[in-house]
Amino acid sequence: MSNLTAERLTPGEIARRLLPAGTVLLALLVMAFPLPLAWGVMPNLALLMVILWASIQPRLMPVWAAFLLGLFADLLFGGRIGIWALIFPLATGVVRVAEARVEGHSLAIDWAFAGLLVLLAQLLAWQLNAFLGSAAPLLPFLTQGLVTIIAYPLAATLGARIQRRLTDLSS
């Protein structure tokens, strides 16, 4: 038979493969809820989860999945279609290139890299919105970026715990 034959997947393997996308979807839904926050700004949890999964389990966050998740984000938040559908896969690609070039890094390095990537993503989202005729002030985009960077250690801890669960599922 050819390589196209379907492989049998156990329930644990199916859960393992779907969990990264599921956590991004959950992050998107949390972002959609009107939660009372101290800063009045919700961190971009979905972008953080995309960055984390692209880093710790790149095979489970392929570029096409990041695109679909970004498209869902565009639809969920009622923004211009294609902005997050472009940014999520771009972020995934940038993380993969960086991961291929840098081995063994600390939380501080990961945090700094994710912070830079988050700020670039927020600036790109702002610029694309302006280019597509939905000009908005830059400050809310930067504020969300800074709050997202502050949230990185919590998201990284959550991602590490989920990663350990994934390892348990595949055993």
| Pick from 49-58, 118-127, 130-139, 157-166: least confident | 157-166
- The total number of structural domains in the chain stands at 1
- pTM, entire model: 0.89
1 domain-assigned: no
Q: Which domain holds residue 123?
A: 11-170
Judge contact between 53 and 159, C-beta under 8 A: yes
- Specify the CATH number for the domain of residue 84: 1.10.1760
Rounded to an integer, what distance in angstroms lies between the CA atom of residue 48 and that of residue 152?
Answer: 7
First to last CA, the chain: 28
CA 22 to chain centre: 11
53 domain-assigned: yes
Rounded to an integer, what distance in angstroms lies between the CA atom of residue 126 and that of residue 132?
Answer: 10
pLDDT for 37-68, tens place per residue? 776 789 999 999 999 999 988 999 999 999 99
Residue listed under structure tokens 């049998």: 8
pLDDT value of position 2: 47
pLDDT above 80: residue 80: yes
CA atoms within a 13 Å half-sphere pointing along the CA-CB vector of 137: 4
3-state secondary structure (DSSP) of residue 105: coil
